[in-house]
Every structure is written in C-alpha cells, then in structure tokens.
Amino acid sequence: MALEKIDIEELDPARTIVVATGNMHKLVEIEDILSRVLPDVRFVALGQLGEFEDPEETGTTFLDNALIKAEAAVEATGLPAIADDSGLVVDALDGEPGVYSARYAGVHGDDAANNAKLLANLVDVPDAKRTARFMSVVALIDTDGLVTYGVGACEGMVGHEERGEFGFGYDPLFLPDDTPGKTMAELTPDEKNAISHRFHALQDLSAKLAGEDA
C-alpha cells in the first residue's frame, strides 16, 4: 500500500511527529499505541514528506542507531521524530548478530544468506543453548533535542530449520517462548504484533510518555 504524500507546510509542528520509515504497517503500529497517550498528535511517515537519504547506521547499540535515524529525521523535517532499531541477539554467539542483524552475511537485507549463516554458526549448538531474543529500541526526539525511548524484547530460541510463510528476516527460525512450537513466521501478523519486541518497546515508551505528561 503506497503512502499518501503530505505537504509538510500543512502540518502543525506542535502536533506532529514524524516516524522515520516508509513502511505503512510500522506507521500504523506506532500510531495505534502512542496515540493513546498522545491523542492530539498526528503521526506521519518520513516517506510521506518526500525522498530522504537513509543515514548511515554506525552505532554499536540498538539505541545508538535508533537515535541516528530519529536525529536525521528531525534535521530533515524540523519536526519531532521517532525511529526504531531492532535485531536478533543469540546467547551462544555472544550477542550476534545484534545490530548487524540485517547485514549479518555481508549484504543488507539478504534474509536467505543471513539465516543460512546463523544456522551454520549454530550447527553444533544443542537446543538448551540456542536461547535468543529479538530486541527493539524506539526513540523519540523533539525539536529541542529531548530524548525519550522505550526498550522491548521477545524471548525465545533459534530453531534448526526455517518454517512459516509470514514475517521476514529471522522470523522463520525464531521460536518465541510465548507461542510454543511455532516460529515467528508461522504467526499471523496480529499474533506477531501482540508479542513482538517492537510492541513491547512501544508499550515502554508509551508508559514513559504518560508519566511525563502526568
């Protein structure tokens, strides 16, 4: 579904937050949760405001990269902005692939190669030691530079083979603790969203914003 283009001049800077994404699903998910504590705010995707070059994600943590993306959106638009960064953290691999999840095998976004490398690196690791979690950090930066962020996790383990038709990335290999016997890719979008790391990060951010507004 294409994003509707918006004239930035028509937006009220005091009641608008830019979401650093071109993904409608992510925009809707973020709006659905944060609008409960920010009911007067309009959430717009960065991709709706024009073509912007993606900043280089040079951070060593998920928070670093979320801030890099949010800061770039603030600078590009002059509006408050929110961005997220996420990835898979595998205990037996000392936290890999971590912030390099999308480019673990060398090419950004090559899910097949990333999954193949992950399986190869875990080939001799027994189930009990294949524990892992998806991590997400969602950061909001206002035009004065004030940062508020939420952190979320989805605990589980890495399976031995890919299963499922939904999702992307490592979803076909990841078995969440909340859905025994099913990979993330075997869950419907609604089922995934109810337990996802980004969902929990948005809940954390929402609680912090509600506390600040109290």
Of residues 137, 144, 6, the one with CA closest to residue 66 = 137
Question: How many angstroms separate the Cα of 62 from the Cα of each of 20, 75, 139?
Answer: 15, 20, 10
Look at residue 1 and tell me if it is in a domain: no
Q: What is the mean pLDDT of residues 145-150?
A: 96
Query: Using an 8 Å Cβ cutoff, are 68 and 185 in contact?
Result: no
Q: What is the CATH number of the domain that holds 140?
A: 3.90.950.10
Q: What is the mean pLDDT of residues 165-186?
A: 95
pLDDT at 214 over 50: no
Look at residue 23 and tell me if it is in a domain: yes
Q: Report which residue type is found at 210.
A: A
* pLDDT value of residue 2: 64
Report the number of distinct structural domains present in the chain: 1
Q: pLDDT tens, 24-81?
A: 888 988 999 999 999 999 999 999 999 999 999 999 999 999 999 999 999 999 999 9
pLDDT at 104 over 80: yes
Look at residue 43 and tell me if it is in a domain: yes
Q: What are the residue numbers of the active site?
A: 85
Q: Which domain holds residue 65?
A: 8-213
Look at residue 3 and tell me if it is in a domain: no
